[in-house]
Amino acid sequence: MGILKAIRVHGKGSGDEVNLNIQGERVCGSGRFSNVYSADLIEPEERKVAIKNSWEPKTAAAKSQLFPEIDVLSQIPPHPNIVTLLYHFTRRIDKQVIHCLVLDYFPDDVQKLREKGVKFDALDAQLYSYQLFSAVRQLFICKIIHLDIKPSNLVINHVEGLLKLADFGNAVHFGTIGSSSYQVTRYYRPPELLFGSTVLTPAIDVWSAACVTYDFITARPLFKGRNSEDQVKMIVEVLGYPSGEEVKAMAASRPRVRRTTARGLAKVKMSCIKFILHSCSYGFPQRHSRAVCE
């Protein structure tokens, strides 16, 4: 990649243009509108970094999702459990605009560890859950909603026991009105979105984080629906059918599934069950309290 001009994001000289000397890029992952490389930053500092390249899709709706990621990450002060945007720059390849985010590097994500057969013991699960909710609390302070908390968006250094929340491509500020209820990966999507609400609140992130906590403990998703309808059914089987007041508070429609009594969770320590069910509740106040308090 060589020497490039970029904008420094945090610390002394933030907002200034600097020269980056980047070498040894290696592909780490790819998605619909982006790919991620690991690389060696030689100047202005020596460190290993991750570089996320996001290109502008042709649809106007998708375009609106690009620059906000830089904007959002620039507004989050460095935090031990949130990936840090160090620099950003733009380049063109074959008339295609590429937005490049230089981030701190972590060797794995939770999903990759799962695919390698790595399971967390009770201490690991508690440690990583604490770090995840610490990140959610910081986002609440910054008035930001991540909107896609899931194992593949949690980068991790398992040797050192460090976890960071990453990939803010879907993140929004408080007060944003969603154009669709189709937000958040299905297994981690809260009931209000599944019931049709387009109101975006920090309670969404709390639900997703609690589902991931269950995943930390059991190495499997809490709700693994085949489709959205099946996802609703599984949630109602665990939590019971929501009351009229709960549906109204969610600004949603009543779910079209059979009314049933909550069966709760099994094969998990009682203290963990209480924490997860308190965070995975229909009631917004309970979930909001998890966003405010670690």
Residues with a known catalytic role: 148
Q: Which distant-in-sequence residues (6+ apart) come within 8 Å of 57 by Cβ?
A: 32, 33, 63
Instruction: Pick left, alpha or beta for residue 108 (phi over 0 → left; psi -120 to 50 → alpha; otherwise beta).
Output: beta
Show the tokens assigned to 72: 């959002």
Show the tokens assigned to 177: 């009105």
DSSP assignment of 34-65 equals EEEEEEEEEESS-EEEEEEEEE--SSHHHHTT
How far apart CA 34 and CA 98 sit, in angstroms, is 9
How far apart CA 195 and CA 125 sit, in angstroms, is 30
How far apart CA 101 and CA 113 sit, in angstroms, is 24
Q: Are 112 and 75 in contact (CB under 8 A)?
A: no
Task: Tell me the one-letter amino acid at 65.
Answer: Q
How far apart CA 160 and CA 142 sit, in angstroms, is 27
How far apart CA 88 and CA 289 sit, in angstroms, is 34
